[in-house]
Every structure is written in structure tokens, then in C-alpha cells.
Amino acid sequence: MPGPRILRPGLAALLCMMLALSVGGEICQDAVCSYRFVVRRARTMTHTRTLPNGWKQNNQVSITHDGHLELFTTLTLDRNRDVNGTRVSSDDVITADGVQRNVILVNGQFPGPAIEVMEGAQIAVTVVNQLMMDAITIHWHGLHMRNTPWMDGVPSVTQCPIMPHESFTYRFAAFPAGTFYYHSHMSSQMADGLFGALIIHSSNPPIPSVPLLFNDWYHEEAETMDIASKHNIYHVGAGQFELAEPSRGYSVDGVEITGRKFVSALINGRGRYKSNKAPLAKFTAEGGHKIRMRLIHAGGDHVFKVSIDQHALRVVASDGHDINPLAVDAIIVSPGERFDFEIDAGASPDSYWIRAETLREGSCVTCTWDSITVTPDDIVEETRAVLVYQNSSSDQDPTSEPRNCTPENPCIFLNCPFGGYPEDRQIVCISIANTSSPTSSKDDAVEGGGVVEYFLNLGFRVGSNINGHRYLPSTAPLYQSPSTNMITPCPTDCQGCKCTHILNLPFNKTIQLVLAGYITTSTGFPAHHNVHIHGYTFDVVASGYPSFNRTTGIFTHSNPDVVCSNELCTTVKWRQGSPPIKVKNAPRKDTVILPARGYTVVRFRSDNPGFWFLHCHQSMHLAEGMAMVLNVAGDRHPAPPSGFPKCGNFSWSEEDYEAAMSGDWQANKKYWDQLLEALLLRQD
Ligand SMILES: *[C@@H]1O[C@H](CO)[C@@H](O)[C@H](O)[C@H]1NC(C)=O
Ligand SMILES: *[C@@H]1O[C@H](CO)[C@@H](O)[C@H](O)[C@H]1NC(C)=O
Ligand SMILES: *[C@@H]1O[C@H](CO)[C@@H](O)[C@H](O)[C@H]1NC(C)=O
Ligand SMILES: *[C@@H]1O[C@H](CO)[C@@H](O)[C@H](O)[C@H]1NC(C)=O
Ligand SMILES: *[C@@H]1O[C@H](CO)[C@@H](O)[C@H](O)[C@H]1NC(C)=O
Ligand SMILES: *[C@@H]1O[C@H](CO)[C@@H](O)[C@H](O)[C@H]1NC(C)=O
Ligand SMILES: [Cu+2]
């Protein structure tokens, strides 16, 4: 039951403008915050009107040359017409990027409604699946789910998928505080729109804050893309990429940005395909005041660089956890990551572009292992939103430009997946490992139990894998039964096997994961990954990038701290012991970029028993099997609530069939009596 919204005098108008985007929520101040999510599929660029007889009718909408929405008629096709069609408000249409396709909505909204609660509240969300043909689960990305690990929303790990017409009530603690989001965890389904902001406040916010969710967006549904791609990722697996395909983009270091070809992208559900005039998200600022923006990458595959023309971004938190403030020009955000930043609306009253661009620099047409040249092209992969100052005339598109980066005043980018840009670009990269948290976490107390170290190498040996294992989901949730035959056990020597990869972790130890992205010439190509852990926040205690040519930016040598332990590089190890680990005031995150041919070291205290998924958050990599389960303290898992749904394979025997065919209706009389009574169908 959402409580009253907190408004401070003078900010009301500002908040109202933002709420018009329908991504900001009301802050629930109650101990139990309950929501009902009705999940449906709908069509973008469609207007629904109620006819006089009460029936509803959907009509296609088109965009006029001057950016208005009109009901589509044959008129629309006539560019020289002198009559205008029926206008509809952009508030009544899910426009996305102005192109028609299917989209998944929660309560009719895209992105789904924001949940905003106070820390420690109990969140209860009843999810009603009205998708008719697809099962769903919802994952509460970044929350710890302590004592309720089976509420984590991962199909086949924590629960049976919610089937069409079914409902499922998630109930869990709002912890920790910060910027989070929810999203479908069924394969690539979240790419079709099933996501929304989840904000947990530790105290009432002193300045207005607004979620800025962005995502890469395609014109086909995720499953269609996944099976239609050359490598049919579910059944054939990757490794079949054609490196020379010119449409694929490369970042400045000579790494392919993702196997998913860019189509478009959205900010708070809006964008423009190519140069159409679809409406964009608008953020209104009151001149001279601060706003906190909560950047959430809710997309599937592309990494974005986010900036606001002529405004410094004062970064104050990542993945919900405070960092010592840092003024930057742009933040690089991979799928699943969040960054909170403040802006001072101190520029001249005007409107400014908010930009989210992929890291594409060009194509790599003649690349071989030893010779990489990224050829710049004019393909622009970006989306935009608008920051409008209150008193500026706001109907026109902004004409603003980003500031120039100069030797005297270089630009600062946070979270580059590579060591740096070419020198002449005047861009300084700050890595996450070089940010700091204002406080030390309890994980810093490593002396107590010692550190237990694991190496996880993410690569492509017959499809995306971790340590050579492609994750094969179990046929029922792992909490369902102690039976082992619902999983496919992993062989001891796995060099590209498909199995239910589970790593057992001891209780209450400092776990150190060395996340590595190493490859050899025989095991495919480099890629940046971004690793997300469920059930925990980790400390980012070290990272290592490959070296690169300072003139071109191109990769030259893998980071030497880590080496492959075998020819296929399915496992890795330190070359000469670990590099310096920065434990004190380490930044805390739950999703972290893993540089290609480099590593990121994270630590956490294994004090939250459960089966916790750990995976690359790029949807193609995840769907192919770049995932595993951490079984933390296997003897201490809390039991699921009674009546927790079960699922799995079913088969029956010939004997049972014969028995059924004998027609002995009395054998189960008691069962039927009870059932018919429950259905109110008893005949006597
Ligand atoms: C159609 O709309 C345009 C743009 O708003 C306007 O300039 C024009 O006068 C309209 N034409 C008619 C016939 O209403
Ligand atoms: C905006 O305009 C209103 C009315 O003209 C004025 O009272 C207010 O001070 C202006 N605000 C800013 C930030 O300029
Ligand atoms: C962090 O900063 C130090 C110096 O301030 C630098 O030597 C080091 O390379 C940086 N590390 C990373 C991972 O950026
Ligand atoms: C976990 O280990 C720490 C340090 O050894 C200890 O202080 C704490 O009591 C342990 N917690 C539990 C629940 O055993
Ligand atoms: C369920 O069926 C799949 C496909 O036939 C099979 O691989 C798996 O072993 C079965 N699992 C159980 C628990 O019977
Ligand atoms: C970097 O690349 C430039 C241009 O290809 C080349 O001339 C130069 O020798 C390279 N530098 C190093 C250190 O390899
Ligand atoms: Cu990946």
C-alpha cells in the first residue's frame, strides 16, 4: 500500500513533471509495501480507445513530420495531404522508438512501475502472468534475499516459472538501500521490456531523484533474435561468429562490442529509430537546483556511455552503494550496472541532450589475431533524452553539444572496459577499482577465517562458458528436492561440456573470486563481460587491464598477472601470486565489468546461505551458458515456505496406462470426492 508521496515545497512541480514519465514512483513509508503486477504483451505505436458500447479498439498510430502522433489512416500515407488526422497524446501510447513491435508491459507501463520503499520494509509483489504463451519469473537485481533465497526469481535455480494465468507472490526484505531494478530472468525475456526501477531509501531523500532506465532495443522479440541468429544460441551455441561481418561494431581497443547487432535504444521507454520524430523522455530541472539521477542499465547486450551535454556528472553511488563523489564527463555502464549521479542545474536555462552511446568506434574488417585495425565509420549507435530547464522554451530539440576534451582540461570517463583511449583523444579513464567507498565493509575483516580463492575464466569454448562449463539449467528448481537427477552433473575434466555447474562455497568465509577474461588463439575471440552475483554485494579489490598502444588505443598484450593453465584456457591462475589487493574502502558492487584479456578481483563474506546465480549479464552470453550457481553453505539453506510450487519432467509407465484403461473408477474415489468438493461440483 503506497504511502503519501513526500513533497517539499517548491519541488512539487518538478516531481510532477518527472512523474509524467511514469517511471518515478511514490515512496511507500509502510512496514509492508504490497504491489500487484499484471504482466501483459501489447503493441507499441498503438492507441486504445473505448467505443460507445464499452468495447475497446486498438488503432495503429503514426508520427507526423512535426513529431505528433496521429491515428493511422490511409491519409497518413499521403505526404502532400492538406487534411490532418486525429491526434492522440503521447501519454496514451507506448511509443518506444516509434516502430511497431510487441512489448511486455507491467500494469500497462513500459518500463514497469517503479517500486520505492524505505530500507527494511517487507516488499510483497503479486505477479499475475497474462502473457498467455510465455512463462515468467522476476529477479530483484542486487537485493540480498537473506533468509528468502527462493524469492530470487531465477527459473530452474530458485523457482518454477510462473505459467500463463498463474500468479506468484514474491515477499522479501528491502535490503540493502540504493538503486536497484527488477527484471525477468527467463532467458532473454527482459529485452522485451519486462523491467522497472526498484529504489530503496535509507532516509527520505534530501533532493529530488529520478530513475533513468535505459536499454538497447530491437525490432524483433528476444526469442526470435536468439534462434534466428547464425549461431542459434540455444541449440547450436556460439563460436560461429563471423568476425568479418562489417555491421558488427568494435570499441577503441579492437574488441567486438557485442554479437547482437545494434538497432536502437531507449531511455525511460522512449527513443527514436534513425531520425524519426518519436517523443523522447524529458527530465525537467529547476535552474540552480540539484537533481539526483539513478542510472539503470536495464538492457540486454550493449554497453553504453552516458553523458549530459555541458553538465558534469557528480557520481555518488554505484549499484546502490555509496562511493566518494567523483565528477566525470561520462559514465560507462554495462547491462545490470547502476550509477547514481547528481547534476547542478547551473548551466544557462535551455535544454540539453542526455546521451547514451554504445562504445562503437568503427568496424574491424581485416582483423586477424595479430593485426587489429578499427576502421572508423559513420554508423551512430545512440539514444537520447532531454534535460529541460524550467523556464526555457522546451518544445524544440536541444542544439547542445558535448564539451571539448583538451590537454588542459581532459574529459573523465568512469568505468572504461579497457585501459584507456588513444592519447590524442584527451580522455582519462577511471576504473571502478580506483573509486572508493566512504566506509569499509564487514568483508574487510578477512583475517578471521582466511581467504578462499577461486578463479573463474569467462570465455567461448563451444559457446559462452565459465571455466569451460556451459551452464545447463536443471529440470526443476534446486530447492525442490534433494534428488540429484534433475541436474546434469559436471565431469571432472570439462573442456566445453554442458552441465549444471554448481560451485560449493563454505559458510562465513571471505571468498575471493578472480574473474578473468583470458583466451588463447584456439579458443575464440576477446570480449568484455560484466559479471553479476545474486544474493551478495562484493568488494571490488583489484583489476588488471591488457596493455594497449597509446597512439591507436588497440590492445597489444594480455595482462601478465594471470595466465592460462591449459591450452584451451578453460582455467587460469596467477603468474606469480596475486597483485596488490585494496581491501580498505573498496567500492561495493553486484555487477562489474570484466575487461577482455584482463581480470577483476572481488571479495564477499559467504554469510548468506542459498543457491546464488552468478553470470555474465549480457543476454546472449547468459542464454548460451555463461552462468553458474554458487551453493553457499549447502547445509544451512532455509526451507522454502510450505506449498512452494513444484515442477519438472513427467512421464508415466505402461503399467499405469493399462490400469487407467481398465476403467476402475472406484480406485480413487476418495481423491475425487475431495477434489469435486473443492471445485464446488459435488453431485450429492
Ligand atoms: C495540420 O497540422 C499542421 C502542423 O501542426 C498545421 O500547420 C496545419 O495547418 C494543419 N492543417 C490543417 C488542414 O489543419
Ligand atoms: C521562472 O519563471 C518564473 C515566472 O516568470 C519566475 O518567477 C522564476 O523565478 C523563474 N525561475 C528561474 C529558475 O529562472
Ligand atoms: C589506479 O590509480 C593509480 C594511481 O592513482 C594507478 O597507478 C593505477 O594504475 C590505477 N589502477 C587502475 C586499475 O586504474
Ligand atoms: C562469521 O565469522 C566471523 C569472523 O570469524 C565471526 O565473527 C562471526 O561470528 C561468524 N558468523 C557466524 C554467523 O558464524
Ligand atoms: C528430464 O528430461 C530431460 C530431457 O529428456 C532429461 O535430460 C532429464 O534427465 C530429465 N530429468 C529428470 C529428473 O528426469
Ligand atoms: C602504435 O601504433 C602506431 C600506429 O600503428 C605504430 O606506429 C607504433 O609503432 C605503435 N607503438 C608501439 C609502442 O607499438
Ligand atoms: Cu559476457
Q: What is the pLDDT of residues 637-653, one digit of tens each?
A: 999 999 999 998 889 99
Each residue of 6-49: pLDDT tens digit?
Answer: 333 333 333 333 333 445 568 999 999 999 999 999 999 999 98
Grid cell, residue 646, equals: 513444484
If you measure from the C-alpha of residue 535 to the centroid of ligand 4, how many angstroms do you get, rounded to a whole number?
18
For residues 493-512, one letter each, b for 16 or more C-beta atoms within 10 angstroms of the residue's C-beta and e for the rest, the string is: ebbbbbbbbbbebeebbbbb
DSSP H or E stretch at residue 19 = helix 12-19
Grid cell, residue 653, equals: 509407465
Separation of alpha carbons 604 and 452, rounded Å: 10
| Domain-embedded: residue 161 | no
> For residue 81, what pLDDT is reported?
74
Q: Of 61, 172, 182, 13, which is closest to residue 113 (Cα–Cα)?
A: 182
* Contact 444 CB / ligand 4 (< 6 Å): no
Instruction: Among 431, 548, 593, 600, name the best residue to mutate to test ligand 3's pocket (greatest count of ligand atoms within 8 A of Cβ).
Output: 431
- Percent of the chain surpassing pLDDT 70: 90
Q: Residue 239: which pLDDT band, with cuts at 50, 70 and 90?
A: very low
If you measure from the C-alpha of residue 508 to the centroid of ligand 4, how many angstroms do you get, rounded to a whole number?
6
Cβ-proximal residues to 635 (8 Å cutoff; 6+ apart), any chain: 507
> Quick one: which atom of ligand 3 is closest to the CA of 545?
13
Q: For the CA atoms of 675, 677, 678, 680, what is the dihedral angle to 10 degrees?
A: 130
Q: How many CA atoms lie within 13 A of 254 on its CB side?
A: 22
Does 247 have pLDDT greater than 70?
no
Does 109 have pLDDT greater than 60?
yes
> For residue 531, what pLDDT is reported?
98
Separation of alpha carbons 466 and 471, rounded Å: 8
Q: Tell me how far the alpha carbon of residue 493 is from its chain's centroid.
A: 32
> For residue 287, what pLDDT is reported?
81
Separation of alpha carbons 378 and 520, rounded Å: 32
Domain that holds residue 482: 451-636
3-state secondary structure 202-270: CCCCCCCEEEEEEEEECCCCHHHHHHHCCCCCCCCCCCCCCCCCCCCCECCCCCECCCCCCCEEEECCE
Each residue of 555-570: pLDDT tens digit?
Answer: 999 999 999 999 889 8
Helix ranges restricted to H, 384-499: none
> Quick one: which atom of ligand 3 is closest to the CA of 431?
14
Which is more confident, 347 or 221? 221
Q: How many residues does the structure list for the chain?
A: 684
Rounded mean pLDDT of 246-258? 84
Residues 409 and 507 in one domain: no
Nearest-CA residue for ligand 6 atom 6 is: 551
Nearest-CA residue for ligand 4 atom 14 is: 508
Using CB atoms within 10 A of its CB, is residue 371 exposed (0-12), middle (13-18) or buried (19+)?
A: exposed
Grid cell, residue 165, equals: 494465468
- Does residue 195 contact residue 298 with C-beta atoms inside 8 Å? yes
Nearest-CA residue for ligand 5 atom 12 is: 486
* Contact 83 CB / ligand 1 (< 6 Å): yes
Separation of alpha carbons 384 and 283, rounded Å: 11
> For residue 236, what pLDDT is reported?
58
Grid cell, residue 501, equals: 555447474
If you measure from the C-alpha of residue 14 to the centroid of ligand 2, how many angstroms do you get, rounded to a whole number?
13
Separation of alpha carbons 485 and 492, rounded Å: 17
Q: 54, 78, 93: which is the final residue of a domain?
A: 93
If phi > 0 it is left, if psi is from -120 to 50 it is alpha, else beta; for residue 617 that is: alpha
Separation of alpha carbons 516 and 432, rounded Å: 16
Rounded mean pLDDT of 79-94? 86
For residues 119-131, one letter each, b for 16 or more C-beta atoms within 10 angstroms of the residue's C-beta and e for the rest, the string is: eebebebebbbeb
| Domain-embedded: residue 564 | yes
> Quick one: which atom of ligand 2 is closest to the CA of 286?
13
State the ligand closest to the CA atom of 336. 7
Residues 267 and 307 in one domain: yes
Each residue of 597-630: pLDDT tens digit?
Answer: 999 999 999 999 999 999 999 998 998 899 999 9
Q: 400, 434, 468: which is the final residue of a domain?
A: 434
| Domain-embedded: residue 430 | yes
Each residue of 140-153: pLDDT tens digit?
Answer: 999 999 999 999 99
Average of per-residue pLDDT values in the chain: 89
Nearest-CA residue for ligand 6 atom 1 is: 549
If phi > 0 it is left, if psi is from -120 to 50 it is alpha, else beta; for residue 72 that is: beta
If you measure from the C-alpha of residue 408 to the centroid of ligand 4, how many angstroms do you get, rounded to a whole number?
51
Nearest-CA residue for ligand 1 atom 10 is: 84
For residues 338-356, one letter each, b for 16 or more C-beta atoms within 10 angstroms of the residue's C-beta and e for the rest, the string is: bbbbbbebebeebbbbbbb
- Does residue 138 contact residue 185 with C-beta atoms inside 8 Å? yes
> For residue 207, what pLDDT is reported?
85
Nearest-CA residue for ligand 5 atom 13 is: 486
> For residue 248, what pLDDT is reported?
74
* Contact 409 CB / ligand 5 (< 6 Å): no
> For residue 670, what pLDDT is reported?
86
Domain CATH number, residue 596: 2.60.40.420
* Contact 433 CB / ligand 3 (< 6 Å): yes
| Domain-embedded: residue 376 | yes
pTM of the model: 0.92
> For residue 258, what pLDDT is reported?
85
- Does residue 473 contact residue 622 with C-beta atoms inside 8 Å? no
Does 432 have pLDDT greater than 50?
yes
Per the listing, cell 531523484 goes with 209
User: What phi, psi does 339 have (nearest 5°)?
Assistant: -135, 135
Does 50 have pLDDT greater than 80?
yes
State the ligand closest to the CA atom of 557. 6
Instruction: Among 434, 592, 602, name the best residue to mutate to test ligand 3's pocket (greatest count of ligand atoms within 8 A of Cβ).
Output: 434
* Contact 448 CB / ligand 4 (< 6 Å): yes
If you measure from the C-alpha of residue 271 to the centroid of ligand 2, how many angstroms do you get, rounded to a whole number?
30
Residues 491 and 368 in one domain: no
| Domain-embedded: residue 101 | no
> For residue 184, what pLDDT is reported?
98
Residues 272 and 418 in one domain: yes
If you measure from the C-alpha of residue 328 to the centroid of ligand 7, how many angstroms do you get, rounded to a whole number?
26
Rounded mean pLDDT of 55-74? 89
- Percent of the chain surpassing pLDDT 90: 68
If you measure from the C-alpha of residue 648 to the centroid of ligand 5, how many angstroms do you get, rounded to a whole number?
8
* Contact 487 CB / ligand 5 (< 6 Å): no
Instruction: Among 81, 84, 395, name the best residue to mutate to test ligand 1's pocket (greatest count of ligand atoms within 8 A of Cβ).
Output: 84
Residues 490 and 413 in one domain: no
Q: Residue 232: which pLDDT band, with cuts at 50, 70 and 90?
A: low
> For residue 22, what pLDDT is reported?
42
Residues 623 and 562 in one domain: yes
Q: For the CA atoms of 476, 477, 478, 483, what is the dihedral angle to 10 degrees?
A: -30
Grid cell, residue 517, equals: 577474461
Cα(first)–Cα(last) distance of the chain, in Å? 44
* Contact 439 CB / ligand 5 (< 6 Å): no
> For residue 84, what pLDDT is reported?
80
Instruction: Among 498, 500, 649, name the best residue to mutate to test ligand 5's pocket (greatest count of ligand atoms within 8 A of Cβ).
Output: 649
* Contact 390 CB / ligand 2 (< 6 Å): yes
One-letter identity of residue 613: F
Q: What's the total number of domains in the chain?
A: 4
User: What phi, psi does 167 have (nearest 5°)?
Assistant: -125, 160
- Which 3 state secondary structure label does DSSP give 92? helix
Separation of alpha carbons 142 and 139, rounded Å: 9
Cβ-proximal residues to 376 (8 Å cutoff; 6+ apart), any chain: 361, 362
Rounded mean pLDDT of 203-217? 92
State the ligand closest to the CA atom of 459. 7
Which is more confident, 224 or 190? 190
Does 584 have pLDDT greater than 60?
yes
State the ligand closest to the CA atom of 458. 7
Residues 599 and 674 in one domain: no
Residues 230 and 357 in one domain: yes
Number of CB atoms found within 10 A of residue 593's CB:
26
Residues 400 and 475 in one domain: no
DSSP H or E stretch at residue 43 = strand 32-43
| Domain-embedded: residue 98 | no
| Domain-embedded: residue 76 | yes
Cβ-proximal residues to 671 (8 Å cutoff; 6+ apart), any chain: none
Q: Of 71, 69, 67, 41, which is closest to residue 57 (Cα–Cα)?
A: 71
Which whole-number Å values give the CA distances from 561 to 355, 415, 572, in the listed order? 36, 20, 10
Separation of alpha carbons 219 and 434, rounded Å: 38
Residues 271 and 299 in one domain: yes
Residues 358 and 467 in one domain: no
> Quick one: which atom of ligand 1 is closest to the CA of 68?
5
| Domain-embedded: residue 293 | yes
Residues 270 and 245 in one domain: yes
> Quick one: which atom of ligand 5 is closest to the CA of 476?
13
Q: 379, 406, 434: which is the final residue of a domain?
A: 434
Nearest-CA residue for ligand 4 atom 9 is: 508
If you measure from the C-alpha of residue 551 to the centroid of ligand 3, how many angstroms do you get, rounded to a whole number?
20
DSSP H or E stretch at residue 15 = helix 12-19
> For residue 23, what pLDDT is reported?
53
If you measure from the C-alpha of residue 75 to the centroid of ligand 1, how many angstroms do you get, rounded to a whole number?
14
Which is more confident, 4 or 261? 261
Separation of alpha carbons 42 and 123, rounded Å: 27
Angle at 24 (CA atoms; ends 23, 29), nearest 5 degrees: 135
Q: Residue 331: which pLDDT band, with cuts at 50, 70 and 90?
A: very high
Helix ranges restricted to H, 549-679: 619-624, 654-661, 669-678
Does 366 have pLDDT greater than 80?
no
Grid cell, residue 475, equals: 529440470
